[in-house]
């Protein structure tokens, strides 16, 4: 099964949205395999946003992600990268559809509540920034028989 990285950003933590966000992914049928509350270090923040280095907004992104606690998570499931991005909604909450996390809870692009990896490669890279391999749980959930027609686990 595919894995992806999700982070509830400082605004989502401060606004008490962590449980609602986790609930969205659980309702969809994805499996939570790692979770931690942390305040990212400068090194983690810079690595997380390295593709934006040199852009005018880079320093602001790095400072913001370090400004308070975040919740880092690894989710697993069939086509989970694309599915999670769909549940999260457009980067700009003003363009996010109702029913998505950003569409329901976001108002400002600079406070868009949650981050989700945009590709399998970036998911692997971002997971490695925040989790050691042994921190990611491998387990079977009984409901997987009811979520997937054919399991490939």
Task: Dump pLDDT digits (tens) for 6-50.
Answer: 999 999 999 999 999 999 999 999 999 999 999 999 999 999 999
pLDDT given at position 76: 97
Per the residue annotation, which of 23, 48, 52, 115 is the catalytic one?
Answer: 115
Q: What local confidence, expressed as pLDDT, does residue 142 receive?
A: 84
Task: Tell me the C-alpha to C-alpha distance, in Å, between residue 34 and each of 26, 66, 76, 129.
Answer: 13, 20, 10, 13
Asked whether residue 57 is domain-assigned, the answer is: yes
Domain containing 28 — which CATH number? 3.30.70.141
Examine residue 151 and state whether it is found in any structural domain, yes or no: no
Instruction: Give the DSSP H/E element, type plus range, for residue 7.
Output: strand 2-8
Active-site residue, 115 included: yes
What pLDDT, in 10s, does the model give residues 118-131?
999 999 999 999 99
Query: Per the structure, how many domains does the chain have?
Result: 1
pLDDT digits (tens, 9 = 90+) for 48-102: 999 999 999 999 999 999 999 999 999 999 999 999 999 999 999 999 999 999 9
Q: Residue 78 — φ and ψ, nearest 5°?
A: -70, 125
Q: Judge whether 30 and 147 are in contact, CB under 8 Å.
A: no
Instruction: Let me know if residue 147 belongs to a domain.
Output: no
State the residue range of the domain holding 41. Answer: 2-139
The predicted structure's pLDDT at residue 16: 98
Is 152 within a domain? no
């Amino acid at each position: 099964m595919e894995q992806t990285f999700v982070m509830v950003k400082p605004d989502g933590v401060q606004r008490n949205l962590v449980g609602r966000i986790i609930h969205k992914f659980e309702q969809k049928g994805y499996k939570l395999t790692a979770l931690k509350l942390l305040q990212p270090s400068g090194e983690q923040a810079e690595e997380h946003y390295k593709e934006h280095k040199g852009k005018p907004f880079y320093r602001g992104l790095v400072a913001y992600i370090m400004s308070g606690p975040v919740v880092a998570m690894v989710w697993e499931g069939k086509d989970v990268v694309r599915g999670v991005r769909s549940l999260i909604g457009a980067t700009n909450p003003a363009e996010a559809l109702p029913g998505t996390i950003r569409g329901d809870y976001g108002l400002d692009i600079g406070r868009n509540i949650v981050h989700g990896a945009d590709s399998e490669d970036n998911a692997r890279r971002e997971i490695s920034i925040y989790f050691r391999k042994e921190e990611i749980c491998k387990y079977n959930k009984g409901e997987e028989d009811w979520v997937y027609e054919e399991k490939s686990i």
